[in-house]
């Protein structure tokens, strides 16, 4: 399918002008970012091929590096950079929206706050949100970074920072790059260890979230805490 063979109002740029951005498909959005295809392939077909390789999942596309994107015929470094830039703008927009959350009253609030930080990662990271007595956020901090299958957590670092901030409670979270939301035995162990240490210091562990690209598992909601 060649862009010029489409009715003018169905071409991605013209369609956006006439019908608005919500009317565009994912393929058409990516086509606008790319701008052009090749002599052998239209930008629409190129966009379809790229998106189908990640099952039309933007989060999965955002994990691809420049070298990964350049493996697609028709994508050079310039177009790869344009894709990565567009996705990074979207991630930062989500993060700015999340930062508007000033008080955390549910696992969903916590997830909305931390999801933009972890959704695109291909390695595990462990983070902590520090809260005051009104569940207002005092800060958030990455405690450790590991590999694809795990990361080592030093509980002392968590509570050292909590004491510095005069936090009265914390929420911890980490991602599973595999996409699985099932807590591992190590996840259960470290949750218990953090909770016990917090009890001694009168700093309550409110929740531990396991996060993937689109959803989360809450230890608190599931009765583990």
The pLDDT of residue 146 is: 81
The pLDDT of residue 204 is: 97
The pLDDT of residue 77 is: 96
The pLDDT of residue 147 is: 66
Average pLDDT over residues 104-128: 90
**Percentage helix, strand, coil, to 5, in the chain?**
45, 15, 35
The two tokens of residue 11 are 């071409």
The pLDDT of residue 90 is: 87
Sign for the pseudo-dihedral over CA of 137, 138, 144, 145: positive
Which among 130, 190, 124 has a CA at the least distance from the CA of 154? 190
pLDDT above 90 coverage of the chain, percent: 63
Q: Which comes out higher in pLDDT, residue 186 or 2?
A: 186
For the chain, domain boundaries: 3-95, 103-218
The gap between the terminal CA atoms of the chain, to the nearest Å, is: 55
Residues in the chain: 225
Q: Which class would CATH give 103-218?
A: alpha beta
Backbone angles phi, psi at 206, to 5 degrees: -80, -35
Which among 29, 209, 53 has a CA at the least distance from the CA of 129? 209
172 Rama class: left (phi>0) / alpha (psi -120 to 50) / beta: beta
What's the pLDDT band for 3 if we cut at 50, 70, 90? Answer: low
**For 120-139, what is each residue's pLDDT tens digit?**
788 999 999 999 999 999 98
Residue 100 pLDDT exceeds 90 = no
Residue 153 pLDDT exceeds 60 = yes
CA atoms within 13 A on the CB side of 178: 10
Which among 107, 148, 98 has a CA at the least distance from the CA of 125? 148
**For 11-65, what is each residue's pLDDT tens digit?**
888 888 888 888 899 999 999 999 888 888 889 999 999 999 999 989 889 889 9
**For 155-200, what is each residue's pLDDT tens digit?**
999 999 999 999 999 999 999 998 899 999 999 999 999 999 999 9
**Taking a C-beta distance cutoff of 8 angstroms, is the pair 126, 174 a contact?**
yes
**pTM of the entire predicted model:** 0.62
Pairing of strands 204-211, 216-218: antiparallel
Q: CB atoms < 10 A from the CB of 175, how many?
A: 26
């Amino acid at each position: 399918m060649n862009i010029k063979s489409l009715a003018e109002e169905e071409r991605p740029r013209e369609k956006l002008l006439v019908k608005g951005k919500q009317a565009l498909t994912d393929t058409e959005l990516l086509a606008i970012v790319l701008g052009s295809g090749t002599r052998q392939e239209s930008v629409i077909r190129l966009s379809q091929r790229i998106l189908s390789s990640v099952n039309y999942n933007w989060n999965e596309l955002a994990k691809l590096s420049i070298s990964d994107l350049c493996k697609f015929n028709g994508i050079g470094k310039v177009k790869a950079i344009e894709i990565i830039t567009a996705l990074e703008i979207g991630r930062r927009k989500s993060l700015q929206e999340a930062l508007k959350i000033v008080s955390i009253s549910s696992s969903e609030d916590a997830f909305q706050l931390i999801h933009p930080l972890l959704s695109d990662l291909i390695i595990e990271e462990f983070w902590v949100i520090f809260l005051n007595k009104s569940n207002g956020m005092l800060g958030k901090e990455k405690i450790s970074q590991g590999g694809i299958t795990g990361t080592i957590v030093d509980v002392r670092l968590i509570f050292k920072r909590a004491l510095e901030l005069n936090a009265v409670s914390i929420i911890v979270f980490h991602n599973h790059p595999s996409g699985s939301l099932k807590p591992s035995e190590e996840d259960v162990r470290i949750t218990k260890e953090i909770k016990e240490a917090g009890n001694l210091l009168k700093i309550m562990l409110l929740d531990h979230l396991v996060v993937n690209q689109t959803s989360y598992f809450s230890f608190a909601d599931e009765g583990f805490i």
